[in-house]
Amino acid sequence: MQDCSIAATDLACRRGDRVLFHSLSLELQAGEALQIAGANGIGKSSLMRILAGLMPPYAGTVDCQGAVGLIDERPALDTHQPLGAALAFWQRIDGPAEDATARLGLSHLLDVPVRYLSTGQKKRAAFARLIGQGAPIWLLDEALNGLDSDAARLAETLAAEHCAQGGICIVASHQAFALQPMRRVELAEFAA
């Protein structure tokens, strides 16, 4: 896996009139994992979007080496398409990669339109898209939401394997995410 690192310095995030957090710094090297914990609305998703470069921070800088893959509440799959075709679109964009659909238990769903899939099944499909992307830095925003316990264990295993191969995993979640070793940042400590 290509060399990767992500570092954030003195980040602050403002939504509307409110500063959600400030003075947040973090740094991860290849193979490291980090959980961002905190209550609803504290700014976990905003932090993830800032780290992904999708939202400018109110203050501070993000320095990122390597491609970023993101899972959030939106799977970015065409809802009318069968799952196989919807994933094939991303495969054409991302190039040939490991096919994780069987491992994620999606094989029998490939000809089912995405709109008929359950929340957990869509989440698993998002993991298939993420693995196909082959990005060294994974940002998992509430990635366990909607997954049953078996699938949640599988997601944790996938994240552990990703780190073992030299990838970086940042997990934003209010629930436990079993991954060792993993650092933990309580976002509440940086709240304004």
Partner 1 sequence: MIGRLASLLRRDLGLLLLGGRRGGTVLPLLFFVAVAMLFPFAVGPDPVLLARTGGGVIWVAALLAAILPLDRLVEPDLELGFFDQWALRGIAEEWIVVVRVLAHWLSFGPPLMLASLLAAALLGLDGQALLTVELGLLAGTPGLAALGVIVAALTAGLRGGAALAGLLVIPLAVPLLIFGAGSLATGGESGLALTGAVSLVLLAIAPFAAGAAIRAARG
Q: Which is nearer to partner 1, 115 or 183 (CB)?
A: 115
Smallest gap, in angstroms, from Cβ of residue 189 to partner 1? 25
Backbone φ/ψ region at 21: left (φ over 0), alpha (ψ -120 to 50), beta: beta
Contact residues for partner 1, defined by CB under 8 A: 52-56, 67-70, 72, 74-80, 89-90, 92-94, 129, 133, 135
Smallest gap, in angstroms, from Cβ of residue 96 to partner 1? 12
Q: Which is nearer to partner 1, 15 or 153 (CB)?
A: 15
State the Rg of the chain over Cα.
17
CB 77 within 8 A of CB 122: yes
Smallest gap, in angstroms, from Cβ of residue 54 to partner 1? 6
Q: Which is nearer to partner 1, 38 or 69 (CB)?
A: 69
CB 37 within 8 A of CB 48: no
- Non-local (6+) Cβ contacts of 126 within 8 A are 71, 75, 76, 77, 143
**Of 37, 31, 13, 49, the residue nearest 139 (C-alpha):** 49
Q: Which is nearer to partner 1, 80 or 108 (CB)?
A: 80
Smallest gap, in angstroms, from Cβ of residue 179 to partner 1? 22
